Structure 1
Amino acid sequence: MLKLTQINKDFGNGHGLHDVSVEFPANKTTVIVGPSGSGKTTLLRTIDFLEMPDSGQYEFDDLHYDLSRPLTKQEVLAARKKLGIVFQGYNLFPHLTVLANITEGPVHVLKQSKQDAEANAMSLLQKVGLADKANVYPDQLSGGQQQRIAIVRMVAMTPEYMLFDEPTSALDPELEVEVLKVILELAKMQDSIVIVTHNMDFARGVADKIVFVEDGKIEYQGDPEQFFAQPTPRIQAFLAAGTFDPKQA
């Protein structure tokens, strides 16, 4: 179980998080949506302490932190060991092959043997259709391929929760589909996933829970069907803004 309670983060300009309480169910996919600048990425980054809250409570399995006090490096690492995150950028090591990118963490952090790490990496590459790219370098891959490798690299670390920060925002529609298919397969395997996305069709199809963030506050959290079928006037306006009908322009 991963739970944040009364989280506050003040950037000094009105933006941040304001008294946010949310639970991310295990073995479910939680999708965070909202307008640009709403705080959805800040919320995701708080889970991994890439943004350190000013106050609130953090609960993750046996970890219970009062965020009104500074956390030690050991406390932060204890949480991060359970988490994996994929960003908008691919963040692959350019000087390493695809295979080396994937096995670096399992060998040096998880202390797997090189043989076991490579066998697992090849199995994962096969699942995402990139086994033939094991010995090439990131700059020889398309953006969609690099993002799929970034996901494989995270999965190879066997995190308890997988976090995705708008992983397809830098991709064109065709490449976006490649990446979303991989995330959908992870969701079908009932992995614990938290994803920020701008793609409402994908959110509708993959979410077990929807979290709608605006102005640093959670305005909705719960059942996806209710979110899309019976939205409040504000949510209805948000969803309508994602479509464009030239006849009504």
Structure 2
Amino acid sequence: MLKLDHIVKDFGNHHGLRDVSVEFPANQTTVIVGPSGSGKTTLLRTIDFLEIPDSGRYQFDDLDYDLSKPLTKQEVLAARRKLGIVFQSYNLFPHLNVLANITEGPVQVLGKNKQEAEAEAHDLLKKVGLDDKADVYPDQLSGGQQQRIAIARMVAMAPEYMLFDEPTSALDPELEVEVLKVILELAKMKNSIVIVTHNMDFARGVADKIVFVEDGQIAYQGDPTTFFNEPNDRIKAFLAAGQFNVK
């Protein structure tokens, strides 16, 4: 269970998050949507403490933090060990080939032996359709291929929750489809996933839960069917702005 209660994050010139309370169910896919600048990425980054809230409560399995008090480095690391995150940019190590990019974490952090880590990496590369790229370097890959490698690298660390921050926003539509297919397969396997996305068609197809963020607050959280098929006027306007067909 991953739960945030009464989270406040103030950036000085504006509120990033204003009294946000939300639960991200295990073994389900929660999709965070909202207008640009609404706070959806800030919410995702709070889960991994890439943004440290000013106050609120953070509960994750055995972790229970009062965020009005300073967090120790050990407390942050305890949460991050349970999490994996894929960003908009691929963040692969340019000096390592694809296989080494995937095995670096399992060997250095999880303590796996190199042979075991490489075998698992090849299995992951097959799942993302890129086992033939094991020996090439990131700059020899397309953006869609690099993002699929980034996902494989994250999965190799066996996180309890997988976080995706608009993972296809830097890709053209054809490459975007490649990446979304991989994430959809992870969702079908009942991984615990939280995704920020601008792609409403994808959100509709993958979400077990929708969280709609606006002005640093949660304006809706719950069933995707209600969100897409019985939207209130504000949600209807948001969906229409994305040229999404709303009944």
Normalising by structure 1, report the TM-score: 0.98
Paired AA for residue 213 in structure 2 = V
Say whether residues 1:17 and 2:32 are aligned partners: no
Paired AA for residue 106 in structure 1 = P
Distance 1:13 1:133 in 2: 45
Paired AA for residue 53 in structure 1 = P
The corresponding residue for 1:66 is: 66
Paired AA for residue 115 in structure 1 = Q
Distance 1:158 1:30 in 2: 18
Paired AA for residue 155 in structure 2 = V
Say whether residues 1:110 and 2:137 are aligned partners: no
Q: How does 1:1-249 map to 2 (within 5 A)?
A: 1-243=1-243
Contact persistence 2:97–2:136 (CA under 8 A): yes
Distance 1:7 1:146 in 2: 34
| Secondary structure of 2:104's aligned partner | helix
Distance 1:112 1:14 in 2: 44
| Secondary structure of 1:8's aligned partner | strand
Distance 2:88 2:241 in 1: 22
The CA deviation at 1:15 is: 3.3
Distance 1:10 1:192 in 2: 28
Paired AA for residue 117 in structure 2 = A
Distance 1:225 1:132 in 2: 39
| Secondary structure of 1:23's aligned partner | strand
The CA deviation at 1:169 is: 0.1
- Deviation by residue 1:137-167 (Cα, 9 ceiling, x = unmatched): 0000000000000000000000000000000
Distance 2:113 2:152 in 1: 18
Q: How large is the Cα RMSD of the aligned pairs?
A: 0.9
Paired AA for residue 27 in structure 1 = N
Distance 2:240 2:138 in 1: 38
- Deviation by residue 1:95-116 (Cα, 9 ceiling, x = unmatched): 0000000000000000000000
Paired AA for residue 206 in structure 1 = V
| Secondary structure of 1:151's aligned partner | helix
Paired AA for residue 193 in structure 1 = I
| Secondary structure of 1:46's aligned partner | helix
Paired AA for residue 31 in structure 1 = V
- Deviation by residue 1:179-225 (Cα, 9 ceiling, x = unmatched): 00000000000000000000000000000000000000000000000
Q: Gaps (5+ residues) in structure 1?
A: none
Distance 1:202 1:224 in 2: 12
The CA deviation at 1:69 is: 0.5
Distance 2:15 2:215 in 1: 7
Paired AA for residue 211 in structure 1 = V
4+ residue runs over 3 A deviation = none
Distance 1:164 1:112 in 2: 25
Identical aligned residues as a percent: 84
| Secondary structure of 2:234's aligned partner | helix
Distance 1:204 1:94 in 2: 35
Distance 2:15 2:204 in 1: 27
Distance 1:153 1:91 in 2: 11
Distance 1:239 1:156 in 2: 35
Aligned residues: 245
Paired AA for residue 209 in structure 2 = K
Q: Gaps (5+ residues) in structure 2?
A: none
Normalising by structure 2, report the TM-score: 0.98
Distance 2:9 2:22 in 1: 15
- Deviation by residue 1:51-73 (Cα, 9 ceiling, x = unmatched): 00000000000000000000000
